[in-house]
Each structure stands twice: as C-alpha cells, then as structure tokens.
Structure 1
Amino acid sequence: MPTSMRSVLPTLFALLLGYALIQVGNTLQGTLLSVRGSLEQFTPTEIGTVAAAFWVGIVLGSLWAGRVIHQVGHTRTFAALAAVASSAALLHLLVISPAVWVAARAVTGFCFAGLFIVVESWLNASVTAQTRGQTLSLYSMTGLVAGIGGQMLLPAGDPQGFRLFCFVAILITLSLVPTALSRATAPAHAVSDTRISLMQLYRQSPFGVVAAVLCGITTSSFFALGPIWAQERGLDTTEIALFMTCGTLGGFVTTWPLGWLSDRMDRRHVIMGTAAMAASILLVLIHAVPLTVPAWLLFIYVAIFGGSVIPTYSIVTAHVNDMVKPGEF
C-alpha cells in the first residue's frame, strides 16, 4: 500500500481531475438554483426545500451507492452516476417548478453521493492513517478550487437564461473523460457490499457521526442560502459570486494546514477549534455588521467563516476512517 503522498498522487490524478470537473458544475448549479429560484419568485421555504432535497439524496446515496460500486466497479459507477446528474441539471431548465426542482435535486444528490464515495473510498484505501489527513485535505482542496471556479462562472451568463444550465451539464459530462480513460485501478478492498449501519458506525465513532451531521447542516445551509442572504444585502450577481467565492477561498487556504495539524494531534481537538471559530465569526457577521458596510468587508468576514467551517468535513472523514475497518471506508 502506498505510504507517501508522492506515490499516491500520480495514480489518482485522473480521478481527482474528474472530481474537480464535477465540483465546478455542482457548485455553479447550487448557487444558480438559489438565485434563479429567487428570480422565479420561489419563496424562501421553497428555495430551502430544493436545497434540502439535494442533501436528502446525498443521505440515500450514501446508504446505497456502495453496493453499486461493489457490483459494477468504481469506473462504471462514476460514469453512470455522472450521466444521470448531467441530465438532471437540464431538467431544472425545462420545467420551472419547485416540485420538479425538489425531485431533480434529490436525484442529483443521490448521484453525487455515489461519485463522492467512489473518490473517497479510493483515496482512503490508498493511504495510511499517517497520511490520511493530508490526502483528504488535498481531495478537499481540489473540490474547493473547483468550487471557486464554479462560483466565478455565475457572471458568465444571465441566471434567467439557459447558458449557465448548459455549462453545468457540459462540465459534469466532461468529468467522465479522465476517469474513463484512466489506467488506474481501484483497490479491491475499497468498498464492501455490506450496507452502512449508522448505529454500528455511531458505536465505532460517535464523535465523528455527530460532527459529520453538523458539518452537513452548516455547509449545506451556507451554500444554499448564502447567495440569498448576499442578494438581500443588495449585492449584484458579480458580488454574489465573489461573496461565495471568498467563502470557498477561505476554506481552500486553511484546508491543508488543518489537515497537516490533524495528522499530528487529536483530530477532535482540531474539529472543535474550527467549529468555535466558525460560530464566533458567524455571530459577528449576522448581528454586528451593519447593513451599510462595504461589500469588501463582507468578503473578508465570509472568507474567515469559510476558512473555519469548510475544511472540517475532510478532518471528520479522516477521523471516522481511522476508526473503521478497510472494507468500510
């Protein structure tokens, strides 16, 4: 089994490139749907429900996608789920309806759960506990860089038009190319055919399960409702894109140092420290920053918030994988 970062990265380059393209499309789509939903006069509750549907799909996909990977393999699973996710992106454009968007986002979430499992199980099976935090931090940084690119694509088209939806579909489809053409072979023990038992996982890592739930609530709320909050603060389309980009960029800057730190001390202490920082800056941003503050100051605050909360998931993932057996990655 490879033990150094240098020996692992060349093998997984194609996989990370495909993951990056997926994340560019995913990030653009999330922000686009929030803005477009507001322009279509969807209520905040409807916009929140559309966003929540994605994470319902993530949960369902997390419970079932492992069996699909075990039966047909990592590469075929990646290709099939990416194709479905690409098609679902265009459905939002064809039918402007909260109910249809909820269903499409749930399907998209299911697909992305499988895609994430393909990538994460492959990574976890290729590293040791001594390098897992750094490896997953690199994985997270890849997603964050891609997320920055996705946010910055928002001004490239009119949210009320069709071009941005086409960008999403094209990016997700292109993610198939590097993965399908790669010669890399996934480790045979990366995924078992056993369904995930949340109770068993909780017994193995109670802190990790609770922390993962809270990470999901926090990050999903930020990416779904952050654009709406920025819009209500009077920011235009470009400024909304910059606002969300700064949050992602803050996470990118701190992901590697925090991953490095988590490999050298109790990961739980790192997680609790970042959570405390995120809560503090969020309280300041909501209750202490006046409505007339310049946009650049909002960008600074959200960068600090993103730097505190976004890297936490990769550290939680590393902590949980420290606690489970190889076939359960």
Structure 2
Amino acid sequence: MASRSAFSYYILLGIVVMAGLSQGLLLPLLSILLEQQGVSASVNGLNSAALYIGSFAMTLVAERLVGVVGFKKLLIGGLLMVMIALPLFPLIPSIGVWFVLRLIVGAGDSALNYVAQLWVLLVTPAENRGRNLSLYGMSYGIGFSIGPLGIGLVDYGDYVPFVSLAVLFLVVFIFVLRYLPEYKPERDLQEQKGFARFPRIYRYAWFALIPAFLYGYMEASLNGNFPVYGLRIGLVKEDIALLLLCIGIGGLILQLPLGMLSDRFGRRPILITAGIYGGLLFALVPFAGTHLWANMALFLVAGGLVGSFYSLGMAYAADLLPRALIPSANVVASFHFSLGSMVGPGIGGFGMQHGSPFLLFWIMGGAYVLFGMLGFFFRGKSLKNIEKKAA
C-alpha cells in the first residue's frame, strides 16, 4: 500500500511537471511569434493573459467539480483539454483563435495544479508537509524551467514544439488513466461549504495567500513580457530563453533549502526576507542592460528567493488553518495565482508601451518589497489553535 501511495505521489509530481512545462513554453514562445508578426506589446500582453483568464475561470468551479466528478476524473479532463488544444496553435495561426486556445490551456492547467496540490496537501502528514510541498514546487519549477528551451524547436517547424508537448501530455495521460487510483476525501472536508468560510480564511491567513498572487504575477510577467523586453533592448532569443531558464533554476536550487529553513525558523520570517531581497534584485535588472552574466546572476538569485513563494505560502496557510478549510484555502490561492497571472502581462505590456521598458521590473520588484514590509504587521495567529482552545 505504501509503495502504491508513493507511486501515485510520483504520478502527481509528473502532472505538475507537465503543467509547468506547458506554461513555461507557451508564454514566451507565443509572445515571440506575435512580436515577429508585428503585434503591439500591450496586445501581446493581453493575449498572454488569456492563459490565466482560463485558469481563473477554472478556479471558480474547481472545488465544486472535484466534489461532483472526483479527483481523478478532473485530472483526466484537464489533461485532455491541454492535449487537444496544443496542436491547434500552429494549424490556426490567428490571434483571436490563439486567445481561445490559451483560455482552454489555462483552464486545463489550472485543473491539474488544483487537484494535484490539494491531493498532496490532504494525504501528507503535517510533519512531512514542508518537504512534500517543496518537492511539489520543485516539480513545477523543473517543467517551467525546461519549457523555454523548447523555443529552439521552432527552427525545425512551427508545429514541432506544440506537437512534442502534446505527445508528452499523452504519456502522462496514459499513466493517470491506468495507474492513478481515485481519491475520496473525508466527510469533514466535504462539509465545509458556504461563503462564510472565506472571510475566516482571509482573517487568519491573508498574508500566507498573497504569495500565490505575487508568484502568478512574476511568472506571467516574465514569460509574457520579458521576451518582448529582451528583444527591444537588444537581447537575442537564445539569451532570452537562457535567462528565463535561470529564473527556474534559481527556484529549484533554493526551493528545498527555503522550505527547510521555514520549518526551523518559521515561514513568516522566511517569506519576509525572500520578498524584500528578491524584490530589490528584480529592481536592479534594468541596470544590467544587455550584460548576459549580470542578468544571469540577478535572475538566478531573485528567482531562487521568490521561486518557492507559492509552496511556502500554502504551507504557511496549512499551518494557520484547520484541516477542513485547506481545500477552500487552496481555491483562494489558485484564485490569487490566476488573478496575478492575468494582470501581470497586461500591466507589464502597458508599462513598456506607454512608459519605460524598465517599469516591467520596477513594478514587480516594488510589489515584492511591499509584501515583505506587510509581513511585519501580520500577527500569524493559528485558527486551529484558537478553535482547540475554544473546544
């Protein structure tokens, strides 16, 4: 049984890798293709946001869908949505059609992320939560980091990166269909319904849920806007792909150490420190200009500091909230991630077109620093401890 449970866990990690891979590839690849077609930066950014509009829409219904169709069937549905949409991008090279296809891919990826993360959260004992969530974050980071490398496959034909990614999704789909068992949550988790649970979540865990927004904002801005930023300041597309890879590598390197440090010193001080220093490093990127090594160093360290924000934030929320509220907190985190992902490319594209290209990094860096400062005002009271004392 333990062996089967471990195998299921690895399948879930594989699903997360694929979700990261699709977003890591599609955002910069489609942005570059649209830039080469002469599409403006603001329209390009808004089109990139479609991926996260779809993700946002799925967030609104994911909790209910899990209750109706179950964990495994929702995973299968998400895989099918992405797998079917991918080959259509090169077949129908229209900005309007791409917007719709991005909506579909975003909804599918959101279903995969929501179910896989919730599954891991609910089956992991509290003493192993930090480690398992770090591995979850690392898995997404691996896929997200490898994704931009697929940009080079365009040299062999516009359809090659899309079809290759669809084939990889097919392999994961087969594993899920054949080997992943259905998971049925406990009755007490299913009974937590009604709008009243959300104000309770925000009251006690608002600081822990902001990192999901910031991570989505950072990811979507860099993948949707940075290729345009890079091309405009004189970087070649190979350097752009390499720098995006550095963000992911930094997150992979520091993901587990930051998780372990948060277990030892507390998640709030780690989030505060990582937010402030990560934000300052992002703000320094414009001063590096086209110097590749300086940009690589900044992207590696900044990406490493904020690359674990989503998993650290969810681990902190799970520390603060009772188990029965974790599924709803996961919905809120997914909502925040989608919201950040939607507004990120739009704000970045608008800033580059109507202000300065450097605003892409100054706005993002300022947001992380502001988050770190807010942490000093968060008391971090645990709702589950309060309820235990009341009982």
Whole-angstrom distance in 1 between the partners of 2:320 and 2:190: 16
Whole-angstrom distance in 1 between the partners of 2:55 and 2:156: 25
Following TM superposition, by how much is the alpha carbon of 1:263 offset from its aligned partner in structure 2, in angstroms? 1.6
- 1:289 paired with 2:302, answer no
Q: Give the secondary-structure state (helix, strand or coil) at the position aligned to 1:157.
A: helix
Following TM superposition, by how much is the alpha carbon of 1:132 offset from its aligned partner in structure 2, in angstroms? 1.4
- For structure 2, which runs of at least 5 residues remain unmatched after alignment? 328-391
CA contact (8 A) 2:50 2:100 kept: yes
Q: Which moved more, 1:119-128 or 1:56-65?
A: 56-65
Q: Which moved more, 1:89-98 or 1:69-78?
A: 89-98
CA RMSD of superposed structures (Å) = 2.6
Identity of aligned residues (%): 22
Following TM superposition, by how much is the alpha carbon of 1:184 offset from its aligned partner in structure 2, in angstroms? 4.1
Map 1:113-262 onto structure 2 (within 5 A): 113-158=110-155, 161-189=158-186, 192=190, 194=193, 198-262=198-262
Whole-angstrom distance in 2 between the partners of 1:160 and 1:36: 12
Whole-angstrom distance in 2 between the partners of 1:174 and 1:256: 28
Aligned to 1:39: 36
Q: Give the secondary-structure state (helix, strand or coil) at the position aligned to 1:205.
A: helix
CA contact (8 A) 1:17 1:178 kept: no
Aligned to 2:15: 18
Name the aligned partner's letter for residue 289 of structure 1: A
- Structure having the larger proportion of residues in helix: 2
Q: How many residues align?
A: 323
Aligned to 1:112: 109
Whole-angstrom distance in 2 between the partners of 1:273 and 1:159: 44
Distance change (3 Å), C-alpha of 1:159 and 1:102: farther
CA contact (8 A) 1:22 1:171 kept: no
CA contact (8 A) 2:56 2:107 kept: yes
- For structure 1, which runs of at least 5 residues remain unmatched after alignment? none
Distance change (3 Å), C-alpha of 1:8 and 1:79: closer
1:62 to 59, 62, 69: 59
Aligned to 1:315: 312
Distance change (3 Å), C-alpha of 1:258 and 1:74: same
Name the aligned partner's letter for residue 16 of structure 1: L
Aligned to 1:272: 272
Whole-angstrom distance in 1 between the partners of 2:65 and 2:293: 46
CA contact (8 A) 1:208 1:319 kept: yes
CA contact (8 A) 2:83 2:170 kept: yes
Q: Which moved more, 1:187-196 or 1:36-45?
A: 187-196
Q: Give the secondary-structure state (helix, strand or coil) at the position aligned to 1:158.
A: helix
Whole-angstrom distance in 1 between the partners of 2:98 and 2:200: 34
CA contact (8 A) 1:66 1:192 kept: no
Distance change (3 Å), C-alpha of 1:324 and 1:107: farther
Aligned to 2:88: 91
Whole-angstrom distance in 2 between the partners of 1:192 and 1:101: 37
- Give CA deviations for 1:34-78 in whole Å, capped at 9, x if unaligned: 111111222111111122222222222122112112222212111
- Give CA deviations for 1:96-139 in whole Å, capped at 9, x if unaligned: 33333222222222221111111001100111333212211101
CA contact (8 A) 2:251 2:307 kept: yes
Distance change (3 Å), C-alpha of 1:41 and 1:159: farther
Whole-angstrom distance in 1 between the partners of 2:140 and 2:9: 14
